Amino acid sequence: MTARLEPGPVQSANPRAAEPAATAFERLRGGGAGRLRMLASVRDLHEARLVAEAGVDVIDLKEPAAGALGAVPLHVVHEVVVALRAAGHAQPVTATVGDWPVHARDAVLERVRATAACGVDVVKVGVERADGAAALLAALAGAPAPVVPVFFADQGLDEALLALACWLPFPGVMLDTAGKADGSLLECLDAPSVRHFITRVQGAGKLAGIAGSLRASQAALLRELAPDLAGFRGALCEGGRAAGLSPQRLQALATEINN
Ligand SMILES: O=C[C@H](O)COP(=O)(O)O
């Protein structure tokens, strides 16, 4: 990792510079009066511009070739936030911190701090279903930045962890998949279980997001499940999630989702 570790706060033409960081993200709660909101994971400024111009609701910085929640180098996170804000794009920007075991709390918190310092609205952190997950959640709740914990559906839903995440002051909770070769979220978990996750999180007053190899053909079911946010990467690429983002696929998916 050769990235600058502490790029410092973004000083830019951010139209929301005076707002608390999580506000724009939290404003997405409620599913936009029936409209399914879309998060797209991007790896660099080129892809970020494509999704911002397509009107995607949340721009999520992630390096898909580095794992389920692979981290983008910090200098790229900083570059993207500055460029999007300077261009007047006001969508919330999230970033992931990489795939970490639950016991690596200090390293995760350090990376959360460094990522937040790049100016993102929210930092997404994967929380494996393992001993130590509750301690990690508690530590993340005390981080000096808005964090959204991400659970993994292919590890099974842990009710106690979900309850804890709903109780702690996170702006949202997401459900994704860790293994991208084993089908989509909706194949890992049945629809009633996904609905349970969504209603539990929304019932706690938080934004409920789902992701995990979701496809355009699942748009109707996604709308019926009514999360606040549906996240995509693989469906936006020609040749797998680690390939480049395809503008044609992006347009087709955005049209299908907004149908
Ligand atoms: O946060 C959203 C993920 O990047 C979704 O990735 P995926 O669609 O390849 O599972």
pLDDT at 56: 96
Counting from 1 in the atom list of ligand 1, the atom nearest the Cα of 232 is 8
CB 115 within 8 A of CB 81: no
Q: Is residue 198 part of a domain?
A: yes
Q: Which residues on neighbouring strands pair with residue 229, listed in sequence order?
A: 37, 209
206 is catalytic: no
47 close to ligand 1 (CB < 6 Angstrom): no
Q: SS3 for the chain, per residue?
A: CCCCCCCCCCCCCCCCCCCCCCHHHHCCCCCCCCCCEEEEEECCHHHHHHHHHCCCCEEEECCHHHCCCCCCCHHHHHHHHHHHHHCCCCCCEEEECCCCCCCCHHHHHHHHHHHHCCCCCEEEEECCCCCCHHHHHHHHHCCCCCEEEEEEHHHCCCHHHHHHHHHCCCCEEEEECCCCCCCCHHHHCCHHHHHHHHHHHHHCCCEEEECCCCCHHHHHHHHHHCCCEEEECHHHECCCCCCCECHHHHHHHHHHHCC
Q: Is residue 14 part of a domain?
A: no
Q: Is residue 7 part of a domain?
A: no
180 is catalytic: no
Q: Is residue 113 part of a domain?
A: yes
CA of 18 to the centre of ligand 1 (A): 30
60 close to ligand 1 (CB < 6 Angstrom): yes
29 close to ligand 1 (CB < 6 Angstrom): no
CA atoms within 13 A on the CB side of 51: 29
CA atoms within 13 A on the CB side of 173: 29
Q: Is residue 16 part of a domain?
A: no
Q: Is residue 19 part of a domain?
A: no
The model carries a pTM of 0.91
Q: Is residue 183 part of a domain?
A: yes
CA of 239 to the centre of ligand 1 (A): 14
Q: Which CATH number fits the domain that encloses residue 207?
A: 3.20.20.380
pLDDT at 21: 56
Q: What is the domain count for the chain? A: 1
pLDDT at 180: 85
pLDDT at 26: 82
Which residues form the domain of 188?
A: 35-257
- Give, for all 259 residues of the chain, the pLDDT tens digit: 333 334 444 444 444 444 555 677 887 887 555 678 999 999 999 999 999 999 999 999 999 999 999 999 999 999 999 999 999 999 999 999 999 999 999 999 999 999 999 999 999 999 999 999 999 999 999 999 999 999 999 999 999 999 999 999 999 999 999 998 878 999 999 999 999 999 999 999 999 999 999 999 999 999 999 999 999 999 999 988 999 999 999 999 999 988 7
Here the ipTM equals 0.98
pLDDT at 235: 95
Q: Is residue 10 part of a domain?
A: no
pLDDT at 181: 81
pLDDT at 142: 95
Considering all CA atoms of the chain, what is the largest pairwise distance in Å, rounded to the nearest integer? 45
CB atoms within 10 A of CB 238: 10
